[in-house]
Amino acid sequence: MAANNKLSGSRSKHRKRMRLGIALGSGSARGWAHIGVLRALHEMGISPDIVVGTSAGALVGGSYVSGQLDALETWARSIGKLDVVRMMDIAPARGGVISGSRLFDAFRRIARDVEIEELPKAFTAVATDFETGREIWLQDGSLHDAVRASISVPGLFSPFSYDGAWLVDGGLVNPVPISVCRALGADQVIGVNLSGDLANRNTQLTQPASFFGDDPLALEDTLARLPPALRDRIEGPARFFLSPRSSEKEKAPSFFDVIAGSINIMQDRVTRSRMAGDPADILIEPRLEGIRLLDFDHAREAIMEGHAATERMRSALESLVGPQDAG
């Protein structure tokens, strides 16, 4: 906590430095953009005192606060489309199409677990209690467990059992957790909204027809490269959920399109409502309309746009925050 109170000599003589919070919003695969946002802020000499994340924002924010952002970025940039397919551990009986175990096991291998209360900065992951609909703030205990609970996208990833409750994605109740930053003592809050440009796009059905676009050979090529045991296990579900439609009549939204579109529309409305009552001091909104729910292999584009979106707000950020002690 001492680092939060450290002031430069000239500034400490005049006023106490305002505590800065950052609210990293939900967005599934678009969450890689948060890496670019945090990189750009670091280059500007801006270091948040309080980090709050919802869903993908919790994953990136937790990695940042625990000093593991480099490892996360290296892993994210290494993910290819074949890796995404391998992560799809189909488990509809567990309350989600995908268990999420393979995806999160990969994260566990590159990021060590720590106790949240031992982190050098204040950190909170936001989740939702499935039974009551209450917003849950995860502020202590295992960082891995907090992140896993926060990223349980309804209908896609299985809910996570945590302290006697079933938790799902925090984006259901607080997609950009500005209010949590304020409650934790932030005087100024930077919000990062990953869904601001997505709701209207989804209602217009302009996105590609499937995970593999309109190329009928892409899915076949991916399946052919899988180990036989894995291919046998996922081929049926993969064809059902991911195959491109071949006729105009069939170009209705796919299963994943419906989930993604519904979540985007809902979160956009919830975000607008919550920010109307408690707006961020600075709002960063990366333009991520080309990245869909499961496009985890698009880390490079997302990170670049997160960085660019933050650079577009450089003047406002520097005016709001001013110089910070790099220590």
Reported as type and span, the H/E element at residue 269 is: helix 255-277
φ, ψ at 152 (rounded to 5°): -80, 80
Residue 32 contacts residue 309 (beta carbons within 8 Å)? no
Say whether 12 is catalytic. no
What residues have CB less than 8 Å from 1, skipping those under 6 apart?
A: none
For the question of residue 214 being annotated catalytic, the response is no
Among residues 47, 55, 66, 99, the one annotated as catalytic is: 55
Sign of CA dihedral 12, 18, 20, 21: positive
Which of the residues 169, 257, 268, 281 is marked catalytic?
169
The sign of the torsion formed by the CA atoms of 5, 283, 317, 301 equals positive
Q: What angle do the packed helices 216-224 and 228-242 form, to 10 degrees?
A: 160
Rg (CA), the chain: 20
Catalytic residue ranges: 55, 169
